[in-house]
Structure 1
């Protein structure tokens, strides 16, 4: 049997080299008329070598990757082979930033005289964002006369009412303004109450009415509510936060280890970068925000 010719042997030997060259060849990018954020134009003239982590979700950054000639992760990768892309996304810090976990955080407490709110698209208080908040009111309800009492709970989004530890009204879920009602017999005197409310997105409203012997339908008044001797109910206002369970220095150190100098997000920013890693925001515009990873 004749052996391989020198030409065939040389061709076979060159296959791994050819595969490597193809793998490392910069990929073609989608042409777009979207204006590139100004920092990208500055990066184009920066001789330093660093990576840019894209968490924007729509990968518009990738369309301009050739402008700044920096390795990027997310969507299409600039001059980074596929196997390196998989390694990059497998890093704990990158996974934590891509998939933050939601948690409810107490922002403040206050006593509200009655529960009759129509916040519209606004937040109940400047300390809260307009969406993704929860409120829990607790205290006592004074029933003036024994007999049948009707309660009405309308809300956008979800709400519930408990009296003496029993669930009386369940108006839960995410929905437009909707009312639930219930009639039950209550004895005159003090009764423990708890009202819960949650807002997802869009308009927000809550109203709690009553109707009973000698009492026409109206919002439950402050004189019928109390918390530790004060009129009204104690409200605990919570905000849903997205946490990455990263310390300030630990998260920064993880990004530096990957060569990341800038992180790009969508127009709403990224709570983990701002609250946990406390990265300074260096730019906002063209539908993105840019954060810088400070050197050690």
Structure 2
């Protein structure tokens, strides 16, 4: 698929097809001084198009003429940008496997997303909900839900979405980003498949959490969803491939008896900012996210 810098205004997602909320879809014609196509002031990567929805620009890896097995949204970190997280998870690979992939742009704040979970549904949660509705209204996708893949601050936001709009999600993959905020404000009882990937060597976002930013530990994060997903205390352990060229490997724990999976993959000797191997990541989270080869 070649890059494009403009799209037709789509009218099928204006009212009822998008859950009753109004949508505006605008052509994107941003260029830099060299005439290079831009999306949210960043170069558009190969295989993507830039689509504006409700005032934000998004990278979309997909085609309206195709039929997709599911929808995946990739959420970038802070600082971060759409193409980076699309590269970490390899959006083109996911699209070739049959999944529509959208990488939305953050809100421009220091945290990039409204990820400090409280009792109020955040603007970003509403935006992602609308974006999911938009995708299902304008592309041919099985089901009506989405999988959220978040890296770092995008992982924080992925857990917020699992609290705020779980009915729209089938699964969450969080890479180096756990729950942020108040667990008491996350009172949902709707199970969502969770696969958390994190390295004990991560110094930027420690697995133990940190007080600054109200970042919970990975243990506390998973304990919260083990209860929601009705899991037993027992888990099985498996060896998985390394997710970087220098890592010795990955150890994965999968809890038993869950209504929908809860899984933790411990990445051995992996820094927060790393050159992740997207195919290895896919091999690790594929089963828990019920993805096809």
Identify whether the pair has TM-score above 0.5, normalized to the shorter chain.
no
Query: Which of the five TM-score ranges fits, normalised by the shorter chain?
Result: under 0.3
Higher strand share: 1
